[in-house]
């Protein structure tokens, strides 16, 4: 069946807050995705299907068998071949929507390469698995005035926070310092169920579409937390930005300093 370009996104355009103009904005947007695991692969799939113009994936990990339980872009053959996640993702995503400009950066984000890897996209999506990297993303995006969306999950717990510099609190307004390494829960310690990753990624994806379609005002200053196993869903309203925040208040971007 021959595709009609106007048909592919017709249902998304029928959604009134997006409409044809919002779809045009999405198609012109560049998104940088940091991480291509459970959150990142789900986000990449959603964004490519939504018609984002350009997607850059930053991830230097290779696929492992344990990834297949929750990372829905990938197949057994990718693991057997020892593929990098970002490169395998591009193969699949390019078949889903060949009009999207895709790029894989096989690097680990750090203070020395953050400017080169992120640049000036319309939104940055956090799909990492450690807080040091998130604080680096927060510092860079606040300094450059870039919206970014934090997401994290382990076991059956998930959290998301959208940061729009100058309008919403940043990550360091809530948590001035990263948690100590021995208090940070990871999938390697407590495991994870697939649905929590897909749920958190869906929340992040919806927030990204608000920004990309030209409706950043629809992003609420809230911290969303979920315990999927015990059916607990919280959307916690946040206070105003902290004028004494070391990042967005005092603009002391310590995580951008070389180690």
User: Which of 57, 89, 61, 56 minimizes the C-alpha distance to 74?
Assistant: 89
Give pLDDT tens digits for 197-230: 999 999 999 999 999 999 999 999 999 999 999 9
Q: Which of 20-29, 59-68, 114-123, 172-181 has the lowest mean pLDDT?
A: 172-181
Give pLDDT tens digits for 91-145: 999 999 999 999 999 999 999 999 999 999 999 999 999 999 999 999 999 999 9
Give pLDDT tens digits for 6-23: 799 999 999 999 999 999
pLDDT at 69 over 90: yes
Q: CA 189 to CA 23: how far, in whole Å?
A: 41
Domain ranges of the chain: 5-256
Residue 259: what pLDDT? 75
pLDDT at 179 over 90: no
Residue pair 168/9 in contact (Cβ under 8 Å)? The answer is: no
pLDDT at 258 over 90: no
CATH of domain 5-256: 3.40.50.720
């Amino acid at each position: 069946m021959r595709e009609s370009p106007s048909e592919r996104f017709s249902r998304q355009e029928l959604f009134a807050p997006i409409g044809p103009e919002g779809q045009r904005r999405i198609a012109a947007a560049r998104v940088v995705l940091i991480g291509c695991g459970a959150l990142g692969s789900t986000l990449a799939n959603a964004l490519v299907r939504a018609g984002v113009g350009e997607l850059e994936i930053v991830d230097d990990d290779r696929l492992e068998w344990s990834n297949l339980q929750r990372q829905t872009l990938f197949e057994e053959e990718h693991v057997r071949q020892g593929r990098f996640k970002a490169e395998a993702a591009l193969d699949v995503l390019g078949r889903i929507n060949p009009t999207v400009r895709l790029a894989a950066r096989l690097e680990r984000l750090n203070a020395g390469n953050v400017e080169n890897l992120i640049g000036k996209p319309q939104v940055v999506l956090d799909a990492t698995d450690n807080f040091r990297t998130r604080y680096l993303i927060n510092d860079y995006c606040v300094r450059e005035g870039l919206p970014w969306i934090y997401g994290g999950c382990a076991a059956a717990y998930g959290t998301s926070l959208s940061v729009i510099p100058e309008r919403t609190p940043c990550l360091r307004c809530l948590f001035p310092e990263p948690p100590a390494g021995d208090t940070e829960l990871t999938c390697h310690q407590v495991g994870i169920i697939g649905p929590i990753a897909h749920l958190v990624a869906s929340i992040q994806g919806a927030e990204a579409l608000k920004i990309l379609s030209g409706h950043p005002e629809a992003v609420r200053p809230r911290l969303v937390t979920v315990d999927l196993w015990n059916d607990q869903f919280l959307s916690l309203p946040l206070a105003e930005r902290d004028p004494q925040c070391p990042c967005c208040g005092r603009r002391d971007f310590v995580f951008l300093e070389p180690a």
